[in-house]
Amino acid sequence: MASNILSWHGRQLKLNTRADVEPLLQGIDPAKIEEIHLGGNTVGIEAAQALSEFLAKATSIKVADFADIFTGRLITEIPPALSAICDALIDKTSLVEINLSDNAFGGRSVDPIVPFLTQNRSFQILKLNNNGLGPAGGEVIANALLKSAELSKAAGTPSNLRVVICGRNRLENGSAPAWAAAFAAHGGLTEVRMPQNGIRMSGITALANGLAKNAGLLHVDLQDNTFTEEGDLSGVAAWATALKAWPGLHTLNLSDCVLSGEGEVPAVVEALVEGSNPKLHTLQLQNNQLEASTFEQLSDAIAGELTALMRLELQWNEQEEDDEFLAKIASNLKMRGGKLIASDEDEEEEDAATKEEVDDDPAAKIPPAPPSRRSGAG
């Protein structure tokens, strides 16, 4: 382990007291630590307080990875433990990334994060994936980020926030306007991932309008939210407009998003084939009821406006096995070293090829990570 990295990742330690933590920190100079990784362990209140004292002295810390650190903890334990850890990071101007994913805060336990999110305006990457936030908790987080942006503006300094990852959190429509306002206020985002949140059309429209204020977006993932409802296409229309605000977009994932009615070419596809995002490299449109008319437009665009596209995922749409347009797409992508994934067989072939590459390259054989455990109270 590098001397500037502190990692207990995956050791399944049960850290309850100060006495459990102090031996693990013995001989480590906190001022030299740039990364700390504690995932796959469980941290109680007193142990968190001991960690906070260490973090208070970590003047060079860049990465604070506290994903999956509350497995088995009571809901009453999480707020004070979380508060101790987050408060210790408030003044860290070196901090680039904080990861609090896979901790089941729920809406009841998010308040301890607010002072950090509001007052530390140095960090660039926020990871809050699978936290059970719900609409209320999501709104608290979004409002804290909005406040941070407003404080930055009042101080005459640009926001440093670049990446927000907040998937699998049941954010729903209730929190979407707050998120949209926060995104618009920050303005410099390059990556936003919010898959599997149960956000429906009105919320999707709000997010499109907020994200459109971030001209530098490179990676957008809204998989498994709902863009249209009962024939109303205003959500997908808003996204078709927003796409034009992101000229450098590299990756777009709108799989499982109900992008159109049956047989219709989605407005977002029409925007893409008209050249809204000429630098697009990866496009994921799985399971959207897409038919031959959409594949025809994509086929023409790959030879024209989408010349940078290298990966296109179209599984579980309404394709025929011998669809001529899919065959043309596959051929054109292959000629430039790209790949069409249009079926389970394509996916299996890719997985097999990847495995073969790893088997042929001993240096690529990395020990598997410990199995993921969903953290939570109880």
- From CA 72, how far away is CA 164, in angstroms rounded? 27
Q: Could you tell me the CATH number of the domain that includes residue 320?
A: 3.80.10.10
In this structure, is residue 64 part of a structural domain? Answer: no
pLDDT average, residue stretch 295-322: 95
pLDDT value at residue 270: 97
In this structure, is residue 39 part of a structural domain? Answer: no
Q: How many domains does the chain have?
A: 1
Q: What pLDDT band is residue 358 in, cutting at 50, 70 and 90?
A: low
DSSP 343: S
In this structure, is residue 201 part of a structural domain? Answer: no
Is the per-residue pLDDT at 319 higher than 80?
yes
In this structure, is residue 309 part of a structural domain? Answer: yes
pLDDT average, residue stretch 189-209: 98
pLDDT value at residue 361: 63
pLDDT value at residue 347: 83
Q: How many CB atoms lie within 10 A of CB 170?
A: 19
- From CA 140, how far away is CA 146, in angstroms rounded? 10
Exposed, middle or buried by CB within 10 Å (0-12, 13-18, 19+), for 257?
buried
In this structure, is residue 296 part of a structural domain? Answer: yes
What six digits make up the tokens of 63? 């990465």
Is the per-residue pLDDT at 367 higher than 50?
no
Q: What is the pLDDT of residues 109-163, one digit of tens each?
A: 999 999 999 999 999 999 999 999 999 999 999 999 999 999 999 999 999 999 9
Using a pLDDT cut of 90, give the percent of the chain over it.
Answer: 86
Alpha helices in the chain (DSSP H): 18-25, 45-56, 78-87, 114-119, 134-154, 172-186, 201-211, 234-243, 267-273, 292-302, 324-335, 344-360
In this structure, is residue 73 part of a structural domain? Answer: no
pLDDT average, residue stretch 235-264: 96
Range of the domain at 261: 227-359
Q: Which amino acid is at 196?
A: Q
How high does pLDDT run on average in the chain?
93
In this structure, is residue 282 part of a structural domain? Answer: yes
In this structure, is residue 160 part of a structural domain? Answer: no
